[in-house]
Amino acid sequence: MKIKRQTLGAPLLETFLYISVFGAALGSRIDELEGIDYVVFIVPGLILMAWAINAFSNNSSSILQQKFQRAIDDQLSSPASPLELLLAFSLGGFLRGMIVASLTFGAASALVGVPVEHALVLIPSLFLVGFFFAQLGVLVGIRAEQFDDVSFAQTFVLQPLIFLGGVFYSAALLPEPFQTLTRFDPVYYMIGLVRYGFLGYSEVDVALALVLLSAATLALFLLNHRLFVRGYRLRA
């Protein structure tokens, strides 16, 4: 949060560009998807993407940066427990993601109008998504030894999974085998949940997706906690 132009400004501009390019330019040709305006159809995915990528990149790069400067030693030599340290490192990205996602929602609502059909599904889903990617960021940050490791994970793993998970389209429109392949992408289910929460439309089994997402988030959290207890790549 110390560098707001990068942490808040850049993601907001990105969202604005997506809405203009995909919504205004492409949207004029596509018109409607599943009975929903194309530009509105992509907003839930954009909000999810904003939260996910910011939670991930904030945590992974903050941890790596602190490891480089050894500034992390100040926290590691404090009486804070492994659980406290893990939560502190997780919440940084989680909250930044939440702020960017909220701003994105605000901006999108102002530009195109976004409904919220099932808030009780939407809110826990977005929180889980944010926490999942916050944990993933912590994991990559701890493991990373150079900045390339972080950008590799983001560019070659995260972005493709998010883009191919159907942020900009409905997977139902894809030809085979891509439609089936998409079902192996965990982000597909996350987008399904969030889109259901906003628009009331979903290609996935909402209850099952929520259970799976909770399980995956918990598993990742427990793994990170174990690594913090062991001091993996943090304590010599």
Partner 1 sequence: MVAVALQITDLVKRYPTGTEALRGVSLSIEQGEFFGLLGPNGAGKSTLIHCATGLARPTSGQIRVFGHDAVDHYEQARLAVGLAPQELNLDWFLTLEETLDYHGGYFGMPRRERRERTRELLAAFSLEKQKDDRTRTLSGGMKRRLILARALMHRPRLLILDEPTAGVDVELRLELWRYVERINQEGTTILLTTHYLEEAERLCDRIAFINDGQIVAEGTSEQLTAEYGVASLEDAYLRLVGRGELSRAHVPEIAP
* 6 lines the binding site for partner 1 (CB under 8 A): no
* 120 lines the binding site for partner 1 (CB under 8 A): no
* 75 lines the binding site for partner 1 (CB under 8 A): yes
Give, in order, the Cα–Cα distances in Å from 182 to each of 34, 39, 135.
18, 22, 23
Is 232 in a helix, a strand, or coil?
Answer: coil
Q: Report residue 62 as tokens.
A: 């903050």
Q: Report residue 223 as tokens.
A: 């793994």
* 2 lines the binding site for partner 1 (CB under 8 A): yes
* 236 lines the binding site for partner 1 (CB under 8 A): yes
Residue closest to 130 by CA, chosen among 160, 100, 103, 151:
100
* 226 lines the binding site for partner 1 (CB under 8 A): no
The residue among 74 and 148 lying less far from partner 1, judged by its C-beta, is 74
Among 69, 175, 176, 184, binds partner 1 (CB under 8 A): 69
* 79 lines the binding site for partner 1 (CB under 8 A): yes
Among 57, 66, 104, 217, binds partner 1 (CB under 8 A): 66
Q: Which region, left, alpha or beta, applies to residue 166 given φ > 0 means left and ψ of -120 to 50 means alpha?
A: left
* Structure-token match 């707001």, residue found: 4
164 contacts 185 by C-beta, under 8 angstroms: yes
Is 83 in a helix, a strand, or coil?
Answer: helix
* 200 lines the binding site for partner 1 (CB under 8 A): no
* 229 lines the binding site for partner 1 (CB under 8 A): no
Q: How far is the CB of 93 from partner 1 (least distance, A)?
A: 15
* 7 lines the binding site for partner 1 (CB under 8 A): no
Using CB under 8 A as the criterion, which residues of the chain lie in contact with partner 1 when the complex forms? 2-3, 66, 69-71, 73-81, 231, 235-236
